[in-house]
Every structure is written in structure tokens, then in C-alpha cells.
Amino acid sequence: VPTATYNWYSLRIHLSCNIWRNGRSETTVVRVGPWNDGHRANKNDLAIAFYLNGKLLKKYSTLDISGKPTNVSGSVSHYTVFSSIDGFQRQGNGRLDFIATRVDGVQMRFSSDTGQIIRAEP
């Protein structure tokens, strides 16, 4: 099983470990961004990032996810772009997707192999 260390800290991560019949193993780590400071999504704040076997696949800023700066849920001093994180879900075709829902109700499906957005729909 591969091991990895990261030079970041996160309050929330999701892990998926697969060991294939040929002995190959994969570990997917999804890092969920924090409640960021401020009240508007921007390109500098992390929303979510995907890693495979210790290597960054793809990361998204809060603006990438929200689509517009005001599509956030906030407190007095912080904001988030997700209303829920559902985590990994195996699909009927065997593919493993990562599911998260934006604050406006749009469900986002990400590929656990690439980190790419597969689908975003209400």
C-alpha cells in the first residue's frame, strides 16, 4: 500500500483505498477546504483538491466551484461554497465518484481518478 505525506493541514479529508487483483493499489485523498475568511468566493481560496497516491490531480478554488463570488453561505466572518459533502459513491458502471453539493443545491460529481468535474446539476 503506498504511503504519502502532505505539506498541508485539513480539518476534513476523505480517503478511498483500492487494491486491485494484480496487486496494484491506489489511495485517493480528497481535501475539503476550510471555512474561508470573508464573504465572497475568490480564486485564491481552496474549495476542494484531489490527490492520487500522494500526487495532486486537481484543485478548485471557491470561485471555480461557486461560479460567481456571491454563491456562498456565510457567517459573520467566514464563508463556504458547499452545503454538504456526500463523499465517495460507487456508480453502477463501477466508477467511483466523489459527490458534493453547492450552497445553491447543485450536486457536483467528480472523478476520483482525475479530479475532473463529471457533472454538475440541480
DSSP string, the chain: ------S---S-EEEEEEE-TTS-EEEEEEEEP--EESSS--TTSEEEEEEETTEEEEEEEHHHHHSSTT--EE-SSEEESEEEEEEEEE-TTS-EEEEEEETTS-EEEEETTT--EEEEE-
44 pLDDT higher than 60:
yes
82 pLDDT higher than 70:
yes
Single pTM value for the model: 0.90
Residue with the larger pLDDT of the pair 106 and 19: 106
% of the chain exceeding 90 in pLDDT: 70
Average pLDDT value for residue range 19-23? 68
21 pLDDT higher than 70:
no
